[in-house]
Amino acid sequence: MMKAAVLHEHGGPEVLKYEDAPRPEPKDDEVLVKVIAAGVNPVDTYVRQGMRSKSGTDNGPMIIGYDIAGIVEKTGAGITKFKVGDAVYAYLPIARGGGYAEFAIAKEGEMSLKPKNIDFEKAAAVPLAGTTAWQALIDTAKLERGQTVLIHGGSGGVGSFAVQIAKARGAKVIATASTANQDLLKQLGVDQPIDYTTTKFEDVVKEVDVVLNTVRGDTLRPSYGVVKKGGIIVSITDEPDPAECAKHGIRGSRLMAHPDARAIEELTKLIEANKITPIVSETFPLQDVAQAHQQMETHHTRGKIVLKIAQDPKG
Ligand SMILES: NC(=O)c1ccc[n+]([C@@H]2O[C@H](COP(=O)([O-])OP(=O)(O)OC[C@H]3O[C@@H](n4cnc5c(N)ncnc54)[C@H](OP(=O)(O)O)[C@@H]3O)[C@@H](O)[C@H]2O)c1
């Protein structure tokens, strides 16, 4: 058995119960990871509330959590890339989850060796948000050196990785956040930070190559007019309006991120080259997972929040 935060029913943060659960056993193509830290993402709160019916609790108790960092405990017969004792991190698919627990299952295509220069808590902040930022800016927008990108929500989980990926790519970065997070935007290397509480971005931004929208609400509508012809809006929240995109001669794409070891390996290289530093603003013990969800649901988290599940055996 192991300790985990288990969902027996959908609802508010209080439905997450810290209790004993069966320890998973890896199949041939699976790796069992002893979890040291687990990242918390907005989607965790949606699944908890039952917004993703297929991954609901209808089939019995479930364990959510899609970001883990830990140590390989056991490998299935078909595993070739990882061995017992490896420090790893992984982006678990929504259909499986299992991260809020002392042990979790990952597949080779979802994981990478952990960057050597960061601890497990920082590593657990990376996979889902970092992969989303990578798939938005690099795989979808094909951001290039010298281009300009506007990032809505540059201080959040996805935004803080997106800013650093874009800077590492050699792009000029404009990003929005509230007054309290202007210092973080500057620390991340944003060239033109915008305080959305005092300045309308559409008044000061024009002719960008790429917009990355990580915010829900009214950021898309004024975005169409700030993109140069042939440019692109990638949104990870609301769907860009095809008619508006056509009117402005731009492309629009709504991205659904997915686990991809190749993206995590690229992130590992950038972290080890000190081009990306994960921003962890708060950590909670697994027992206090409900508090972590309350913070996530403010939609004003600075960087990432992480659950600490076990001690680093070497730290
Ligand atoms: N499609 C996908 O595959 C995918 C993947 C990951 C995430 N998502 C979604 O993308 C969204 C962002 O995810 P996340 O993990 O980055 O969330 P997060 O960590 O909660 O991001 C919150 C950030 O958004 C900023 N923000 C809030 N309102 C803003 C506004 N009006 N203008 C500019 N910034 C604003 C906040 O900054 P201030 O506190 O300074 O306001 C905060 O730093 C969520 O809705 C999530 O569900 C989708």
Q: Looking at the domain assignment, is residue 242 inside a domain?
A: yes
Q: Please, what's the largest Cα pairwise distance for the chain?
A: 58
- 27 & 85 share domain: yes
Can you say whether residue 142 is alpha, beta or left, with left for phi > 0 and alpha for psi between -120 and 50 degrees?
Answer: left
Which pLDDT value is given to residue 53? Answer: 55
Q: Label residue 106 exposed, middle or buried (CB < 10 Å: 0-12, 13-18, 19+).
A: buried
Smallest CA-to-CA distance from 61 within 107, 18, 105 is with: 18
For a mutational test of ligand 1's pocket, the pick from 48, 184, 236, i.e. the residue with the most ligand atoms closer than 8 A to its C-beta, is 236
- 201 & 287 share domain: no
- 145 & 110 share domain: no
Q: Is the CB of 213 under 6 A from ligand 1?
A: no
Q: Is the CB of 220 under 6 A from ligand 1?
A: no
What single DSSP character describes residue 109?
Answer: G
Smallest CA-to-CA distance from 45 within 192, 210, 184, 216 is with: 216
The interaxial angle of helices 42-49 and 289-296, nearest 10 deg, is 110
Enter the tokens of residue 287.
Answer: 């027992």
Enter the tokens of residue 35.
Answer: 């979890």
Residue span of the structural domain in which 169 resides: 129-254
Domain count, the chain: 2
Which pLDDT value is given to residue 315? Answer: 77
The residue count for the chain: 315
Q: Looking at the domain assignment, is residue 266 inside a domain?
A: no
Which pLDDT value is given to residue 52? Answer: 65
Name the closest-CA residue to atom 36, ligand 1: 300
Q: Is the CB of 299 under 6 A from ligand 1?
A: yes
- 120 & 144 share domain: no
CATH code of residue 199: 3.40.50.720
- 27 & 107 share domain: yes
Name the closest-CA residue to atom 26, ligand 1: 153
Which pLDDT value is given to residue 301? Answer: 97
Which pLDDT value is given to residue 314? Answer: 85
Which residues, given as ranges, of the chain have pLDDT below 70?
Answer: 52-59
- 21 & 44 share domain: yes
* Predicted model pTM: 0.98
Q: Phi and psi of 285, rounded to 5°?
A: -65, 155
Smallest CA-to-CA distance from 121 within 314, 259, 267, 310 is with: 310
Q: Looking at the domain assignment, is residue 270 inside a domain?
A: no
Q: Looking at the domain assignment, is residue 315 inside a domain?
A: no
- 182 & 228 share domain: yes
- 54 & 92 share domain: yes
CATH code of residue 80: 3.90.180.10
Q: Looking at the domain assignment, is residue 262 inside a domain?
A: no
Radius of gyration of the chain (CA): 19
Could you identify the atom of ligand 1 that is nearest to the CA of residue 46? 47
Each residue's pLDDT tens digit, 249-296: 999 999 999 999 999 999 999 999 999 999 999 999 999 999 999 999
Q: Looking at the domain assignment, is residue 259 inside a domain?
A: no
- 233 & 137 share domain: yes
- 66 & 176 share domain: no
Q: Looking at the domain assignment, is residue 271 inside a domain?
A: no
- 88 & 196 share domain: no
Of 254, 269, 298, the residue at which a domain comes to its end is 254
- 290 & 209 share domain: no
Q: Looking at the domain assignment, is residue 260 inside a domain?
A: no
Each residue's pLDDT tens digit, 13-48: 999 999 999 999 999 999 999 999 999 999 999 999
Q: Sign of torsion, CA 194 198 204 206? A: positive
Q: Label residue 138 exposed, middle or buried (CB < 10 Å: 0-12, 13-18, 19+).
A: middle
